[in-house]
Amino acid sequence: MSASFHPHHVILLSHPALLEAAREAQHLADWLRAEGVATVQCAPVTDQQVQACGCDLLIALGGDGTMLRASRMAAAQDVPVLGINMGRFGFLTEVERSEWPMALRRVLDGDFRIETRMMLHAEQWRAGRFLQAWDVLNEVVICRGAAVRPVRLQAHIDGSLLANYMADGLIAATPTGSTAYALASGGPVLPPELRNILLVPVAPHLSIDRAIVLAETSQLTICPQDNLYPAVLSGDGLPPVDLSDGDEIRITNSDLRARFIRFQEPGYFYRSLTMYMQKNPAAGEVL
């Protein structure tokens, strides 16, 4: 990156339930102002405020859940995100809490690179009518709701039937999401620079039980079919949305992209993966 990169409007996004993250954000804000950054905002912000304020850097303090939210907020403005780990896992974050003064100095000096990652775009359609849409970094999950019963889901690729599933659900994941829920469900790990869509069944019963890697230009359509209890949809762990039989969830490669500030060389991904795979994070991980 050019040494002339000097952010003028920085947003600090901290985990809302983590007081330590809010306090640390205030320390960062004071440091940035002392370095001549014109505007620093660390109060709670919405997606709309990020889009309206014209920020040129978003710093996320938390764990991977905070990074997912930050990436969705920043992607529409093509703004880079720097992740500071305040949680226990932090696979997507770049620096630890104690390292941020050195990291911010490198950012202001332009001593970093930008890593670009694909996102998914999902749309809900019902009887030919568009209802709503999501852009996500990790995955879109269509699965059973409150009832502990498998759901029937039909998957199409580019308009052609792929398979009928009886399963707890289907995961459509990005390469970034391949190390999350998709990995826990038996899917393969994809390098983050790929742009493929990964389809992974969750606890399939008498159905295709293998993950499928789709081309980046594919349109995946998933339809709930003949279910006594409604299926639900969740993108990146957001609150679930009830689906009706016959709904179409159309999933494609998004026009948006997540941009992460990185200081490590590109091969860091495999080194970090090995390290994190050897950990057993606590069930109470801060996201």
Residues annotated catalytic, as ranges: 64
Strand segments (E) across the chain: 9-14, 39-41, 57-62, 81-85, 95-96, 113-126, 129-136, 139-144, 151-157, 160-167, 169-173, 197-202, 212-214, 220-224, 231-235, 241-242, 248-262
Is there a contact between 83 and 115 (Cβ–Cβ < 8 Å)?
Answer: no
Residue burial 190-226, b: 16+ Cβ < 10 Å; e: rest? bebebbbbbbbbbebeebeeebbbbeeebebbbbbee
Find residue 261's DSSP bridge partners: 114
Question: Phi/psi of residue 187, each to 5°?
Answer: -80, 165
